[in-house]
Amino acid sequence: MKKLLLILAVLLANQLHAQILTPVKWSYAAKKTSATEAVVLIRATIDEGWHIYSQTVKDGGPVKTSFTFPAAKGYTVVGKTIEPKPITRFEKAFEMNVSYFETSVTFQQKVKLKKAGPATIKGKLEYMTCNDQKCLPPEDLDFSVDVK
């Protein structure tokens, strides 16, 4: 009987785990543009039928994608995080035009290194994922990128 309960518990746990939706995968890289400058590349790969929102969504709409970079000794952030041109359409759920990305998007952040050599850029991103039927709760992710 104990073995049967254990097997059922494992099967139930696997089933619940399989139902967690993760339609966006994030990857990070950095490219040096000079001895003391680099660009951090933050890429979202988005499952078919889903989208994430632009950094420029107006108040009253979905949670926009945002990036924060804490102060650090080894580098300073230069300007705002850049994004490509998003798709802009009216979404009934929010009763407004919203800008978003499908399939994939790469955000870019310039940084100035305080010294030549390797550095680790740390940051946090927040985003919200939706499809034409539902939205998932906003998610926060910490990341770090080595600049060599």
3 or 68, greater pLDDT: 68
Q: What topology is assigned to 24-147 in CATH? A: Immunoglobulin-like (2.60.40)
pLDDT higher than threshold 60 for residue 90: yes
Report the C-alpha gap between 65 and 15 in whole angstroms: 30
The pLDDT value given to residue 79 = 97
Q: Taking the model in full, what pTM does it have?
A: 0.84
**Where are the domains positioned within the chain?**
24-147
Q: Please write the tens of the pLDDT for every residue from 36-52.
A: 999 999 999 999 999 99
**Mean pLDDT within 49-61:** 96
